[in-house]
Structure 1
Amino acid sequence: MGRRRKGRDISGWLIVDKPAGPTSTAVVNKIRWALEAKKAGHAGTLDPAAMGLLAVALGEATKTIPFITEAEKAYRFTIRLGAATNTDDAEGEVIATSDLRPTDAEIEAALPAFTGDIQQIPPKFSAVKIDGERAYALARDDEEFEIAARPLHVSDLRLTARPDADHVELEMTCGKGGYVRSIARDLGEALGCHAHVQTLRRIWSRPFTLEDAVRFDTIEAEARTPALDARLLPVEVALTDLPELPCTELAAMRLRNGNPAEVLSSTANFGDTAWASHQGQPIAIGTYRAGQLHPSRVLNL
């Protein structure tokens, strides 16, 4: 028999404005402690040096994490021209340099090659698994290995500022699995000058924005108080891009038991992923077929 997990049965989303320094896992652990929560997880890792929006799910909200992970995200970042590093960011060792500094026009002309449906090779210092091992562990041991390119959709990539000849500020909106460090590395190679990420900030992750976010030091200050509880967003905010299907109390009972049930009305098409609600409360997520929701995840709220 498994050990019973200690903590409160508390569910919802806490959106954090992560500072540079802590890992995403450390932020989740801090929130779990501060809210005395049994269960917590995050939707979309940020590197320790990265800042900005980190969406943390508590309790039953962890069942909705995949819908945030799959959603578009936007980043604001600064790249340093003239130097490549082994980590593709400012934390790594410089491995190549160049005196070439492209003009703004040359940079803007290169950006379209990194938009749309592209193939991207993740950084060697990343959590990608290679034959069961994390790439960053292999890289730290100076192992020789290759990472296969992965598909990525970049819906927007634009130059927003040029503070000086050595630095460029960009904004990018992309789908799941995008590495900003790879964009900086590959852009530097395309321009013939080398480059790496100097600063990185996630500014939104649909449907969340930094306006929803809590400062990391606020979590410490309000730990284990009703004030922090009050900052939780409801579980269903993660489901805003899915059709909501109201149902009766009887149907809600069937869905909670994992059985298909009729929904009262639907904006969903056959085969769509949707969620059922009763009196505004989410009951289950599943597949809509011919007037019924077939649940794949039941939300015990």
Structure 2
Amino acid sequence: MARRGKKKGRPISGWLVLDKPVGMGSTEAVSKIKWLFQAEKAGHAGTLDPLASGMLPIALGEATKTVPYVQDGAKVYRFTVAWGEERSTDDLEGPVTKSSDQRPAEADVLLLMPKYTGVIMQTPPQFSAIKIAGERAYDLARDGATVDIPAREVEIGRLDLIDHNADRTIFEVECGKGTYVRSLARDMGRDLGCFGHIAELRRIEVEPFTQEDFVTIAELETARFGGQGDERSDSADTVPVDFDAIDALLVDTSAALDCLPQIAISDDAATKIRLGNPVIIRGRDAPVEAEEACATARGKLVAIGAIEQGMFKPKRVFAG
């Protein structure tokens, strides 16, 4: 008797902008969302530590092809620095490694902040996913090794002071790809002579998504089970007749490509592109050259490609 193949799931596509709770890892969150949507494929656009909350954009189906564009987008974090202690992980998880009775005045913090805006050199935390000689830094650090991680350029668009008291300061930062907020807390604490670590961290924006796009686990479960909670039974794993309620919480795949020139094409051109063929771009405002552009037909994403001498040449095609 032939063995029945494992069910692959639904070919659903789009972005789910999860408001990840504290305590849930990014991989765990992706698994949860994939299960709730019974999706064939899922992946996230930028790890968020378990101790952090907030925006974790999760791509389903065809949207996984657009993950690099979201990963490269600017991010906004609201974070609290607790002064007086430096910790091995630069957050609450690790043991205290240095301490001080000194506490910074608000004026001292404000005076320091310009040093941490613009393009700066930053050393990632010992407990980070940076690879050193083929191994993750956090694996080496857990084994007790002191890792020599080279500093690298990161870009801080803005750094604002939201609130300050003797022991803690709340900041909001807009930063580029590769920035470690934990390193900001550590380095500012050292510069102020009082040490510091992250006490709270929440990601509130990942370009192009905003807080208006947030969806919680509770909202997803209500949409999936009609208010009956997370029912992980055999019947819950059976694909329901209607997925409309939960699918309505997705953001269209094309939203991740707002950063690219948008080219409207005909249905005939879309068919040719999906077969891997280049097409002539028509229209008075159509660009003649572009390293990357997004082609759409009737508002639906068709392909990402290059425009050369008025021809759109597909690089990555999306299912119709």
On the 8 A contact 1:245/1:264 being kept in 2, the answer is no
Deviates more, 1:225-234 or 1:153-162: 225-234
> Deviations along 1:131-164, whole A, 9 cap, x unmatched?
11111111000123211112111010111101x2
1-structure distance, mates of 2:158, 2:248: 35
**Partner residue in 2 for 1:180:** 181
State the AA in 2 paired with 1:84: E
Q: Sequence identity of aligned pairs in percent?
A: 46
**Partner residue in 1 for 2:222:** 221
Give the 3-state SS of the residue equivalent to 2:303 in structure 1: strand
Please give the residue correspondences for 1:48-127 in structure 2 after superposition, counting only pairs within 5 Å: 48-127=50-129
Instruction: Give how far 1:114 is off.
Output: 0.9
**Partner residue in 2 for 1:157:** 159
State the AA in 1 paired with 2:262: E
2-structure distance, mates of 1:257, 1:190: 58
State the AA in 2 paired with 1:107: V
- Structure 2 gaps of 5+ residues are 225-239
**Partner residue in 2 for 1:279:** 298
2-structure distance, mates of 1:101, 1:243: 49
Kindly report structure 1 stretches of 4+ aligned residues shifted beyond 6 Å. Answer: none
Please give the residue correspondences for 1:181-260 in structure 2 after superposition, counting only pairs within 5 Å: 181-223=182-224, 225-260=243-278
Please tell me whether Structure 1 or Structure 2 has the larger radius of gyration of its CA atoms.
2
Deviates more, 1:267-276 or 1:35-44: 267-276
**Partner residue in 2 for 1:270:** 289
2-structure distance, mates of 1:5, 1:74: 38
State the AA in 1 paired with 2:21: P
Instruction: Give how far 1:4 is off.
Output: 7.5
Instruction: Give how far 1:79 is off.
Output: 0.4
> Deviations along 1:59-108, whole A, 9 cap, x unmatched?
00000111111110100000000100000001111000011111111101
Question: TM (normalized to structure 2)?
Answer: 0.89
Instruction: Give how far 1:5 is off.
Output: 6.8
On the 8 A contact 1:248/1:263 being kept in 2, the answer is no
1-structure distance, mates of 2:249, 2:158: 31
Deviates more, 1:272-281 or 1:66-75: 272-281
Instruction: Give how far 1:218 is off.
Output: 2.3
Give the 3-state SS of the residue equivalent to 1:288 in structure 2: strand
Instruction: Give how far 1:270 is off.
Output: 2.0
2-structure distance, mates of 1:221, 1:256: 37
State the AA in 2 paired with 1:283: V
1-structure distance, mates of 2:293, 2:48: 28
How many residues of Structure 1 are paired with residues of Structure 2 in the alignment? 298
Please give the residue correspondences for 1:39-54 in structure 2 after superposition, counting only pairs within 5 Å: 39-54=41-56
**Partner residue in 2 for 1:138:** 140
On the 8 A contact 2:204/2:211 being kept in 1, the answer is yes
Deviates more, 1:68-77 or 1:280-289: 280-289
2-structure distance, mates of 1:120, 1:28: 29
